[in-house]
Amino acid sequence: MNNAQAILKNPFINKGTAFSLAERKQLNLTGALPAVVQTIEEQAQQAYGQFQSKEKPLEKRIFLMNLFNTNRTLFYYLMGQHIVEFMPIVYDPVVAESIEQYNELFIQPQEAAFVSIDEPDNVEAALRNAASGRDIRLVVVTDAEGILGMGDWGVNGVDIAIGKLMVYTAAAGVDPSQVLPVSIDAGTNNQALLTDPLYLGNRHERIYGERYYQLIDKFVTAVEKLFPESLLHFEDFGRSNAANILEKYQDKILTFNDDIQGTGIVVLAGVLGAMNISKERITDQRFLTFGAGTAGVGIAQQLMDELIRQGLSASEARKHFYLVDQQGLLFEDTPDLTPGQKLFVRSRNEFANSEQLTNLANVVKAVHPTVMIGTSTQPGAFTEEIIKEMAAHTERPVIFPLSNPTRLAEATAEELIKWTKGKALVATGIPAADVEYNGVTYQIGQANNALMYPGVGFGAIAATGKVINGETLSAASHALGGIVDATLPGAAVLPPVAKLQAFSQTIAEVVAQSIIDQGLSKEKLTDAKTAIAQTKWEAKY
């Protein structure tokens, strides 16, 4: 490959038709491009026209991925102009289609690292080769056991890591040349993949236990060695491993688990926003989480930590929570509880009818929740009967059906507004249109982790943080929850994705300042805004 071809194939430096005549001469690109020199604005207009010509969402995603792999700056310039339109294309929900058809539609992911449990001695080499000498400051890694609400998708799940990093850059300004998506291929229990002749991952069942954790140790050690200034973001690990990994490393390195911590702090921000509207206190709420997996337990943990920060003892705070899983309400004698679930179990002697609390409807009647959160992936689980029962016992029920993609949502925003006669304070896990009811336009907040993790991660990187702790995460939640205008009729509990870049900046500054104030920076920093400004990347030539 000659020098001209190498430049035009390098997405970090390629400008395509925007190379000036002087640059073309200097870089030996003369004759390799058409004569006209375009501005980035002209390129973006041209690319957006091509994007619009694609009819299906998956076709739009494939077009954007090809642009991403060709010209990183143009991709992010264009995404910055159309962030609301592009977010569901590059990430949830269209990324789900991409993962399901990954083998058939394989597009070589630029700079992704594939770490195999069958080759543990090659972990460091895999990371080094993928990084190609770049100064990596952010690693997003997934083993793809718990992809969205889809389950185990093996090596196909690398698209989740890639999409997550796209949002980090588009929303917060993380330098795209300093990020690395990683797939941990520990096998898969998805039989459809194992029997698919086109499947690109290890063709054996998923490995658990000591061998798995040894691989994770090797991986974390290699990241710390090769990229000592990086934030390690864990994404979509299974419920049996996610909490264990976070607990092991969170006090030792700069790390973040979006499913446990990210989901939790976004929901906390939404609840705080709801409290701003209802004028109630979070310490007076009764929380019911339907779906006690990684996300559900993480949400409960973040909410409980906030109650403790607001003055309740740990034992008092715990009494405000009810976790419901496939067995029903979780009790002390419920079999096969995860460590996280055990923190929130109830005693049977609290209920005269404990043996009947095996379904959501009966639990709602028994505990009268004021806040109900769905992470169950059970479509339609929040029925009209259940919602009306909840609304009969609280003036402003806070209801967050968060399961995604769309087909797995516990209820729609329109249903919840209608069934509660406009009383419900709603956030959804997927984008939802405004709801018109009795002359009021209800804006629906999206409890999307993208509202939070870009600012949290970028703030921690800019502040050269040693760890991300509960105090910092709480500060981020209060910053996001305080953005909503509680005086507007039909106000949303969370700010809109349309303002994602602006409030990601706010969150990043709050996070960076929290790290600095706690003395958790690796460098001697005093001002978060300066640190953010010096670190922020912009999409321009």
Q: Would you list which residues are annotated within the binding site for (S)-malate?
A: 404, 448
Q: What is the pLDDT of residue 202?
A: 98
Question: In this predicted model, what pLDDT tens digit does every residue of 159-201 receive, in sequence order?
Answer: 999 999 999 999 999 999 999 999 999 999 999 999 999 999 9
Cβ atoms of residues 194 and 188 within 8 Å: yes
Q: Is 77 a catalytic residue?
A: no
Active site residue 54: no
In percent, the amount of the chain with pLDDT more than 90 equals 87
- Position 3 scores a pLDDT of 84
Q: Six-digit token pair at 461? A: 């990187």
Position 481 scores a pLDDT of 86
Q: Where would I find the beta strands (DSSP E) of 131-213?
A: 138-142, 179-185
Category of 273 on φ-ψ map: left (φ > 0), alpha (ψ -120 to 50) or beta: alpha
At 110 the pLDDT is 65
Is the pTM above the cut of 0.85?
yes
Q: Mind listing the pLDDT tens digit for each residue in 135-162?
A: 999 999 999 999 876 899 999 999 999 9
Peptide bond connecting 88 to the previous residue in cis, omega within 30 degrees of 0: no
- pLDDT confidence bin for 448, thresholds 50/70/90: confident
d(CA 272, CA 306): 10
**Residue whose C-alpha is closest to residue 320's, from 293, 373, 284, 356:** 284
Give the pLDDT band of residue 92 (cuts 50, 70, 90): confident
CATH number of 262-449: 3.40.50.720
Secondary-structure class of domain 4-79 per CATH:
mainly alpha
Q: Is the pLDDT of residue 273 over 80?
A: yes
User: Which residues, 6+ apart, have CB-to-CB distance to 535 below 8 Å?
Assistant: 173, 175, 458, 461, 462
pLDDT of residue 295: 87
Question: pLDDT tens, 461-502?
Answer: 999 999 999 999 999 999 998 888 888 999 999 998 889 999
**Tell me, which fold does domain 93-257 have in CATH?**
Rossmann fold (3.40.50)
Q: Looking at 15, 60, 77, 164, which residue is catalytic?
A: 164
Q: Yes or no: say if 233 and 453 are a contact pair by the CB < 8 Å rule.
A: yes
Residue 372 identity: M
The average confidence (pLDDT) of the chain is 95
What are the φ and ψ backbone dihedral angles of 441, each rounded to 5 degrees?
Answer: -95, 115
Taking the CB of residue 40, how many other CB atoms lie within 10 A of it? 19
Contact 243, 339 (CB under 8 A): yes
Annotation: binding site: 235-236, 259, 404, 448
pLDDT on residue 93 = 82
| Per-residue pLDDT at 204 | 98
Catalytic one among 76, 77, 91, 442?
91
Counts for the chain of helices (H) and strands (E), in that order: 23, 14
CATH 1.20.1370.30 domain span(s) along the chain: 4-79
Residues of the chain with CATH 3.40.50.10380: 93-257
